Structure 1
């Protein structure tokens, strides 16, 4: 059995849309010294990290199940949904499963990259530590003479690490029914530009959106090809404003955001935009979706009295 250890946070089907005739795209990498260098890569050679979604402590055939099962199925269905989107297939409006496949893909791109996975693991570890402080007095009160002296020692019997717990949580976040329903109910459109108006860039954090997606003027942008961008909005007025924007200005503005939010990689068809990427790479960082969730949880947790205080 071939166990996948190379876990793509940018699926091959997605990156392949920027490939030139040589079957490769231009990977623009930000080095530690701030320089950005171009390299040509096939989609298989980039947009991945080894063992990114591994669940430690499980047998080898199960440890990679988030990648081999969940992510692989998600990406396969998203590829089918993207084809339907671009071909104006009417199923995208009436087939809830097909529509949900695309919504899940968008949400996955907001939390499956290495930076977000690290944030998820850190958040789970913080939550777990807080829970231990809260539960320790209860454990000591209920402890039997044959039980370990501390809750931490008792939990050693459960060999799952907080990192593993985080990876078990990731699919549930991507499948979050509330957020998925909001995405499904938004107005979707595919905006295409002509050849003389420039080309869209993508990156290791390709989704650009408003802070929240429930407000009437909320929007989501995702470049899906050099000449094509997916857009989701909540009301017709916002849609009309986007459709009325000058195409060249839209390309420049979105490229600035997608490149500005990138952590390490941006992608284009060639290196024509290298000076632009060098100027804007990583200059518009903001908390990831996972970090926002962690911050909200921490604020809620801080407002609750601990067991000791009670």
Structure 2
């Protein structure tokens, strides 16, 4: 039986997006169109956060024959499936206490996958690799005896998928990096829960994992599991004996703001975004998303159905 290729590759998996669905099964998404205007719409999770063939390995003259072009996507699916089970377990009791060592390993791997697998991240790595290759070609070109070789190599590389393939070939090893995973497992993990009446909800963008640095360069990692539930990882040096109220309030405010600061192509929200006392979305849309209208006007443009 011929291997059936899956072309839609989600960089935020559907099980995670499903947490932001409304009663109709759709997501409220604020998205830039071709002219950088914001068009809030209702979309099904299968319609967002994917690119066709994002992780597909393509044929090129420098690689061996690829028997399963979607090997990386299939491995990412395994990581996602494991993470879906962990979220389900966390949601059952709104606690991390019941997580096994394997659960924690699976979750740490998933968090790292979200850091590494986004289109922006892959494009940045491809650009770095292309720069390195250009520098090598420039060195070859300066030597008279190798100028013919430079012409041949330049043509081959320009017609190949070498950089794209190499970045993707390294992706799984980077995601499963034992040093990074072990480091995260040594952090203190906590949950921040917002009750249903709280006016503020967590959002999602294409970069849902954020890191926060304090004055001592100690990183805090955070990821929203649902619009009401935030997972955070704190360094072992964090003093848990202090009053956490201000700290929690700061994390709540910073999580959405840090995602906005990446100038995202879209924002997924469980509720209509309004100026909620934590964020001035009128200003955020104008500053980061280059919108010329405020949130109230945006909502009147929303397409529901």
Asked if Structure 1 and Structure 2 have the same fold, meaning a TM-score greater than 0.5 normalized by the shorter chain, the answer is yes
SS class of match (1:210): strand
Mapped partners of 2:211, 2:179: distance in 1: 17
Q: Provide, for residues 119-162 of structure 1, a one-character-per-residue CA deviation record: whole Å limited to 9, x for no partner.
A: 11111222333455668999x79xxxxxx962774795996512
Aligned to 1:77: 82
CA shift for structure 1 position 84: 3.0
Mapped partners of 2:272, 2:207: distance in 1: 19
CA shift for structure 1 position 7: 0.6
Closer, same or farther: CA 177–152 of 1 in aligned 2, 3 Å = farther
Aligned to 2:177: 176
Show structure 2 runs of 5+ residues with no match: 290-305
Aligned to 2:202: 200
CA shift for structure 1 position 24: 1.1
- TM-score, normalised to structure 2, is 0.76
Closer, same or farther: CA 6–281 of 1 in aligned 2, 3 Å = farther
Closer, same or farther: CA 40–154 of 1 in aligned 2, 3 Å = closer
- TM-score, normalised to structure 1, is 0.75
Mapped partners of 1:120, 1:163: distance in 2: 9
SS class of match (2:39): strand
In the alignment, is the contact (CA less than 8 A) between 1:38 and 1:274 conserved in 2? no
SS class of match (1:178): helix
1:114 aligns with 2:122: no
SS class of match (1:62): coil
Show structure 1 runs of 5+ residues with no match: 142-147, 286-310
Closer, same or farther: CA 19–242 of 1 in aligned 2, 3 Å = farther
Which residue of 7, 22, 25 maps to 1:23? Answer: 25
CA shift for structure 1 position 272: 3.7
Q: Provide, for residues 9-31 of structure 1, a one-character-per-residue CA deviation record: whole Å limited to 9, x for no partner.
A: 01101110011111111111123
In the alignment, is the contact (CA less than 8 A) between 1:216 and 1:234 conserved in 2? no
CA shift for structure 1 position 236: 6.0
